Structure 1
C-alpha cells in the first residue's frame, strides 16, 4: 500500500506544472505577433488586422483591412477554443488564409497570449 501511495505522490510531483493564464507572459509571446499585428489605443491595420477585441469578434470584420475570402467566409466568431485551434495551425483551420505563420504549439504560451489579448476591448482600451 505504501508503494502505491509513493508512486501516486511521485507522479504528482513529476507532472508538469500547469499555470493559469498570465497576461504579462502573453505580452512577451505577442512580440512575435507584432511583426504583423497591432493592439492597443493607437493600433492600426498593417500586414495583419488590429487585434483589439478579437475574442467575441466575427472573423474578417475589422474595417479597412483586406481579408482573404477564406477568412471573411469562414463563419468564425473568435472565442478561446477557436483561437486556440487557429493559432496552432492557421492554414489548417482556415485554408486559404493570408496569415503566414507556422503556428504556436505550446499550450501555456497560447493561454498566456489569450490573457494578453483579452485585456483589450474593441477600442483598444485595457479592461
Structure 2
C-alpha cells in the first residue's frame, strides 16, 4: 500500500509542479525555434546549415564534430558560456568578425537571448 501511495504522490507532484517550469522551457524552445532553428538544431550530431548546438555551453568555438567552421570561428579562442553566447547572439560579427552567420545580424532583445541560452543549457539534446 505504501508503494501505491508513493507512486500516486509522485504522479500528482509531476502533474502539479512542472507547470511554471514547463512554461519557461516552452518559451525557450519557442525562442530557439523562431530565431535559430532555420540553421541549427539542438540535437546531438544534427548539423545543418549551422552546427548542432547540442552541448554548446562549455565547448570551444569551432569544434562541434562534423561541421566545417570558418577560420574566424576556429581561431576565435572562445569557449561558449552565458556571457560569450549572449554577446554572439546579440551581434555575431561584433564578437567574431568574418564568421559564417550571415545574414543573421543578431537578437537585440535581452530576454529572448536569455530564453535561448537557458534552453540550450537545459536541453542539451
Q: Which residue of 1 aligns with 2:37?
A: 34
The TM-score normalised by the length of structure 2 is 0.75
In 2, Cα distance between the equivalents of 1:120 and 1:30? 11
1:112 paired with 2:119, answer: no
Runs of 4+ in 1 over 4 A off after TM superposition: none
Higher relative contact order (CA 8 A, sep 6+): 1
**TM-score, normalising length: structure 1:** 0.74
Q: 1 or 2, which has the higher helix percentage?
A: 2
Q: Deviations over 1:100-123 (max 9, x none)?
A: 2110111111111111100233xx
Identify which of 4, 22, 25 aligns with 1:23.
Answer: 25
Separation in 2, partners of 1:120, 1:74: 25
In structure 1, C-alpha distance between the alignment counterparts of 2:84 and 2:25, rounded to whole Å: 19
Counterparts of 1:120 and 1:108, CA distance in 2: 18
Which residue of structure 2 aligns with residue 93 of structure 1? 95
**How far 1:97 sits from its partner (Å)?**
0.2
- CA distance in 1 between partners of 2:65 and 2:118 (Å): 24
Deviation at 1:40, TM superposition (A): 2.5
Is it true that 1:46 corresponds to 2:48 in the alignment?
yes
Unaligned runs of 5+ in 2: 1-23
- For residues 51 and 40 of structure 1, the distance between their equivalents in structure 2, rounded to whole angstroms, comes to 7
How big is the alpha-carbon RMSD for the aligned residues of Structure 1 and Structure 2? 1.2
- Report if the CA contact (8 A) 1:51-1:117 is conserved: yes
**Equivalent in the alignment of 1:55:** 57
